[in-house]
Structure 1
Amino acid sequence: MTDCKGAKVADIVFIVDESGSIGNENFRLMRNFLHLVVSSLDVSPKRVRVGIVTYNDVSTPQVFLNSFNDKDELLEYIKILPYNGGGTRTGEALNFTRDNVFIKENGCRKENGVQQVAVVITDGRSQDEVSEAAITLRRAGVTIYALGIKDAIESELLEMASHPPDQHVFIRDSFTELTHLKQTLQKILCKNIIAKAVPMKTEAKEVCVKTDEADIFFLMDDSGSISWQDFAEMQNFINNFIEHFQIGPQQVRIGLVKYADSPTDEFDLTTYSDEESLVNAINSIIGVGGGTNTGTALSHMGRLFKRAAVTRGHEAPKYLIVLTDGKSADEVKAPAEKLREQGIIIYAIGVKNSSQTQLEEIAGDSKRTIFVKNFDALKSIDNEIIREICSEEACRDIQSDIFFLTDSSESIDEEEFQKMKNFMKFVISKSTIGENKVHVGVMQFSTSYNLEFPLNQYYSKDDILRAIDDMKQMNEGTRTGKAITEVSRYFDAAKGGRPGMRQNLIVITDGKAQDDVRGPAEALRNKGVEIYAIGVKNHNPTQLKEISGDSQRVYSENDFDALKDLEAQVSSKICERGKSRSRANQQRQLGVEQCWKKCSKPLLR
């Protein structure tokens, strides 16, 4: 199996339930499942190390991370992994694994920056508490996957697993389904290991440091329900956020207000003008406790943002990021609406017992709300918000052509087709559509192709979104090469394209093309069109690379749900590159104008 070839370095520990409810036959199926998953990993002392802990009433270390140097020997041992029966103390197993397996003496390489991963496999309710044990393990830097079979309790799996749950929680009705789950878990596990080994932080930072200017306030819940550890997680989240921006009086400015019964100004936008001073100030904030009057705190923010325009000398993009862990005791909708009327974009992050209704009332848009079960999950979402904000800025004032070429074959069901539409709509929503701005075109393909609209048909965002909503699926084969050849014509001036501008093609496909893609894609790239290839479900990775011509513009996903994870990533990348081209064009134009003024002589004296 080649799925995990890119996942080169990780420490992975399987925490396996061996309680009496499983039985010998089901435990045999569990052994087979472990054997299949480990077979797909690049196991060796310098690459992926594997550990195994079995547990019932007590936990037993079957394999430490440095027990086996040879993959074949490890696989042979998995075949005879002992089964004892007994109770189900999952919380104790998490603590045991943290204290006895994820340690340097037993092969853990955390000190070297190697990713730490735990995969919990259980078939029933734990006889002890799992939440705190899981939080402590995650805070130790371990990413947790939770696999529940048969009578496992979903709420417990969610308590254990890392964020987001759709990538870290798996539920199956019986042990016979493990064979089918193997490929799904394997792909997600390997994809996440690769993603974290090459973090998106660098890519996000490249976009964000080019964010010209912004005024960003954090509104931080300081109520009594937040422990000192939770408070520290919020501080870390804000510090990680700041790292991505060019901080300065004329660039990105950061302010912070904490609140409980009433708001307290910690520092204004003008207080600190460099990253180091900001981090020191954030780390010195002390939690006091109290009630949760989020509405009062929101009302307080209005005058701070008004003062921002005065101190900067002009209006800059304004953002408010609200962090809260509970339901507000006062009304939030009206004060939040007043802030949005001032042009402030609000993101609402809810933790633990926060109200989803109130989060949406605060943000005014469900897409700007994020909920996580625990504060330690905040570190998993910083890129999500950062990309959102930075793609907003990267997409301002660019000129480019963006064409979507979407697979409409019969292997895509109605719900998946809608998710593909939603992806396109998000990318478009981040762009400034207009006759002299961004132009968008869409073509579907199957055995044949169908032009929905060319680049010069719509100059209104609403018209484009309406046309996408009206798209009907073709339900035939997959002739991707043929479609690329056809769409190539629509980048030409005669068909509505603007060859002098940045031109992008985004190809979305769920399967292997039934024709050649290399030749048509290469011909299109030779015209200066940059191609992004997004493969979903049963796509062919080799063909994606042939289409894009560059692995940096290839995105592979397991299902159409994962398109949502790519929305901000793709839009920010396209916009930033478009902005670079626009700046270059502006500089060339300025040079021509300066030369004309300096060099030209009047014809008549």
Structure 2
Amino acid sequence: LLTCIYATKEATKKKKSKLYVPQIDCDIKAAKIINPEFIAKCPSGCQDVKYRVYGTDIYASFSSICGAAIHSGTIDKSGGKILVQKVAGQSGYKGSFSNGIRSLSLPRWRESFIVSEGKPKKGVQYPSTLEYSSSSNTPVKGKCKIFCWECVCVCVCVCVCVVFFHIQLHLHYTYCKVDLSFLIDGSWSIGKRRFQIQKQFLKNVAQALDVGPAGPLMGIIQYGDDPSTEFNLKTYTNSKDLQNAIEKILQKGGLSNVGRALSFVNKNFFEDANGNRGSAPNVAIVMVDGWPTDKVEEASRLARESGINIFFVTIEGPDENEKQNVIETNFVDKAVCRTNGYYSINVPSWFSLHKVVQQLVKRVCDSDRLACSKTCLNAADIGFVIDGSSSVGTGNFRTLLQFVANISKEFEISDTDTRIGAVQYTYEQRLEFGFDKHRTKQDVLNAIKRINYWSGGTSTGAAINYAFEQLFSKSKPNKRKIMILITDGRSYDDVRGPAAAAHQNGVIAYSVGIAWAAQDELEAIATDPDKEHSFFVDEFDSLYRFVPRIIQNICTEFNSQPRN
């Protein structure tokens, strides 16, 4: 063995191992790769407009890596090697046109990256296999094969794999940023031993999350007869202090009034004074031993409509003989966003609770599922105000309706998720359908197709007043009111007064102008800042370009202002 190792060292001196550079596809976004710094190779053809880029010099991690590399001038459209470094999130990403790529502006994002020439830095080791946020441990095997030499293969492989596995566990949630409240069961039914198991579970979650100011923050509410805050989001900013505080929590006793606890969270917990950051999704995880002793459906609905993602972890739920004692049957399905099992975890025994730590943390940190169009996080009422004047024309009107459909289909549509309404206007106004008319995505898309072109003049101010009276005045409490107005010309009446009134009544207004639309009117209609809410194109056929930007702005604005 000694002779073999010596020979390997000699061979290493004579021939330096070649760095293997992994290739990535054009559509890969920086947020999908866990590694904080890496060298990768981009293919040719990544200058296509479908590969979105956000920012200039410093790019939001929501961007295509290769698209950003071309935009920055690091590579051209033929592709090449690049060095990618993750950096902190920014405010005010600036859009620009460079090297054939139009990058978009973005108000805020949780993580950024920079790209430079793909030359390794001295003394820095770069991964030969990139670790993706949704991948398994498979890449580890590939890494062993690349770095193993004959006779010390087993030794090196074990070392590399074990180290890499620990790094993976640590990095998997490094870029997780959520404001998290745990509602823990302190009722007498749980008993002292199981209450201690519950606390250990919380400590394990805190460790897996790697709590910190730039990542996830965690507070705890204990419920029994009544809920009380053990500590809020800003009390502890690292996992160690948080774990020590969890260990000191004493059991309250009482009933299991989960509905009352959810109402408390909705009204009191996610406040700025308690450390709510606005830029991070609000998540409530409810721990339940058995079943609640009050109703949860209404409290859960109001919490969801306020922007809180609700997860339920139920332990030792009722069996067939006990279900007659449950006040509200199927209480979990009535409480969570959807009944697909993603937002609920059923654990058969308290002694199995430790097995779901990673599963729960992974779900809570899945930014795609917590993004606005993927969940009931931002349950909104979106009203389209559509110009049907003579200058639009029949063909362009169909293009305009396709634009409306393209935005609508990005959202989850139901009575508790996003609702869609539409008004068409000329000199007069017509309610095409209200928020309560269609409750599925397909019904909404079919209704949009059925809208008939009206033709006439252009009274945009009157249309805004009409939309508020017929749509937004009937919006549900806690629903975010969003108006998207599309017009191709100057209005015959004043738009400033009606727009100001809509803004004052909580309507967030987006204006989209085509061809002869007046820029000053578009800016007056749009909510401040104008540049994030007002858009203009020369031709109807270019409307599609604004779909992803409008959706992203709606999401970002919701996260920064999570309450109506």
Higher helix share: 1
Tell me which interval the TM-score lies in, with the shorter structure as reference length: 0.3 to 0.5
